[in-house]
């Protein structure tokens, strides 16, 4: 079994009367890409800042690589790379100089550092922009520079705090591919985002946060199995009688069915072959239909069912 890299127990962080983290628990194992998913203000960045010993907290314990982290825990910090939510680079230094500067805070040997810097620049595909100043870079390239500055020293634990905010789809895909690549090279990754598609795409395990609490933890499939709604079926039918609608509602695993604007909407709970069963019924009743859609539940559905709120509302 892989070792835990991070263990957070009963973490409480208050800003006067506002509780930012409410007895938050989290355990991340070596080699994982762990996603912290939640709307803005749910406590993701606060968790990261407490973890990095930037923020003080009121209660709880945080262990990184089995040790309590403090502001002067230099050996622990040497193993951590952070990609901040806000781009943190020097406007007066070029791309190469920025990466070299931040890498130099961790790696003293000049030759090793030069190799690391070149690798990091190559990793984020900024080779042709090495002599550019940050102000000359587009938003996506700037985010990639921000990532290069955070990972150049080859840390064992990489924390990426919403690295794709305000990034175009092409750059976003590059960043996500890069994160998977870093993980394959051995880094444990914590990835915070309010974009559920990204989290679902790259994370091996996900924690859903809301109001400073950990609502659910598991793989994407495990989380989806936690909710009743598992499948949404939409069928375009020109004519459907009230009697047929009642019969459809009586089919196994059907939670809800309605007919509006020539469209039949059915929500099913878990169970297999829901779509086949519904289509068989329509055929036996000789009801003609056009297009058929079947949607599996998303993390937004999970979030909606657990909190009563739309995750997307705050995204």
Partner 1 sequence: MFIHEFKYELIRVLRQKDELFWVLLFPIILGTMFYVAFGNLNNATENFHTIPAAVCVEAAAKDKSFEAVLDILSDETDTPLLELTYTDWDDAVELLKENSVRGIFKIGESVTLHCVSNENANAVTLALEQSILETILQEYLTYADLITEIAQTSPDKLPEAISKMESSVSYKKELSLTPGNMDSIIQYYFNLIAMACLFTSFAGAYIAMHHQANLSPLGARKCISPNSKFCSVAAQLLSCLLTQFVCVAVTILYLYFVLKIDFGTSFPMILFTSFIGCILGVSFGFFIGSIGRISETAKNGIMISASLLCCFLSGLMLGNMRMIIESFCPLINDLNPAVLISDSFLTLNIYGVTERYGANLFALLLFSAIFTVFGCLMIRRKTYASL
Report the site for partner 1 in 84-123 (rule: CB under 8 A): 84, 86-90, 92-93, 97, 101-102, 104-106, 108
Q: What is the DSSP string of 141-186?
A: HHHHHHHHHHHTT--SEEEEESTTTT--HHHHHHHHHHHHHHHHTT
Calculate the CA dihedral of residues 257, 261, 262, 263 and round it to 10 degrees: -40
The site for partner 1, by CB under 8 A, has a size of 33
Residue (of 21, 23, 24, 27) closest to 43 by Cα position: 21
Residue 158 found at the interface with partner 1 (CB under 8 A): no
Minimum CB distance to partner 1 smaller for 117 or for 216:
117
Name which of 54 and 180 has its Cβ closer to partner 1. Answer: 54
Q: Which of residues 24-63 bind partner 1 (CB under 8 A)?
A: 49, 52-56
Of 89 and 264, CB closest to partner 1: 89
Q: How far is the CB of 115 from partner 1 (least distance, A)?
A: 16
Residue 70: CA atoms inside 13 Å, Cβ hemisphere, count? 3
Site string for partner 1, 187-216 (x = CB under 8 A): ------------------------------
Half-sphere exposure of 10 (CA within 13 A, CB side): 4
Half-sphere exposure of 140 (CA within 13 A, CB side): 13
Reading the block at residue 305, the tokens are: 């069912």
Interface ranges with partner 1 (CB under 8 A)? 15, 49, 52-56, 71-72, 74-78, 80, 82, 84, 86-90, 92-93, 97, 101-102, 104-106, 108, 149-150
């Amino acid at each position: 079994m892989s070792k835990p890299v991070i263990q957070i127990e009963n973490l409480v962080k208050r800003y006067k009367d506002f509780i930012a983290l409410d007895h938050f628990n989290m355990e991340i194992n070596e080699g994982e890409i762990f996603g912290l998913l939640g709307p803005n203000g749910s406590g993701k960045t606060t968790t990261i800042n407490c973890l990095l010993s930037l923020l003080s907290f009121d209660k709880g314990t945080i262990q990184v690589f089995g040790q309590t982290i403090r502001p002067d825990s230099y050996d622990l910090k040497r193993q951590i790379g952070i990609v901040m939510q806000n781009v943190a680079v020097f406007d007066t230094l070029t791309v190469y100089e920025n990466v070299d500067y931040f890498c130099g805070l961790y790696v003293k040997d000049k030759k090793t550092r030069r190799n690391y810097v070149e690798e990091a620049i190559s990793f984020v595909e900024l080779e042709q922009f090495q002599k550019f100043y940050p102000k000359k870079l587009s938003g996506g390239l700037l985010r990639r520079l921000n990532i290069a500055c955070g990972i150049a020293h080859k840390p064992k634990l990489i924390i990426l705090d919403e690295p794709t905010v305000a990034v175009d789809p092409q750059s976003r895909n590059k960043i996500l591919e890069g994160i998977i690549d870093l993980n394959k090279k051995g880094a444990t990754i914590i990835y915070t985002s309010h974009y559920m598609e990204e989290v679902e795409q790259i994370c091996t395990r996900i924690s859903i946060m809301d109001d400073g609490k950990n609502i659910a933890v598991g793989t994407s499939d495990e989380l989806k199995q936690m909710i009743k709604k598992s499948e949404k079926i939409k069928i375009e039918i020109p004519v459907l009688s009230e009697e047929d609608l009642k019969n459809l509602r009586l089919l196994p695993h059907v939670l809800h069915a309605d007919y509006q604007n020539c469209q039949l909407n059915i929500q099913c709970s878990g169970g297999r072959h829901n779509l086949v069963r519904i289509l068989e019924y329509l055929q036996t009743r000789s009801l003609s239909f056009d297009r058929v859609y079947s949607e599996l539940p998303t993390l937004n559905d999970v979030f909606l069912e657990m909190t009563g709120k739309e995750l997307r509302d705050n995204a």
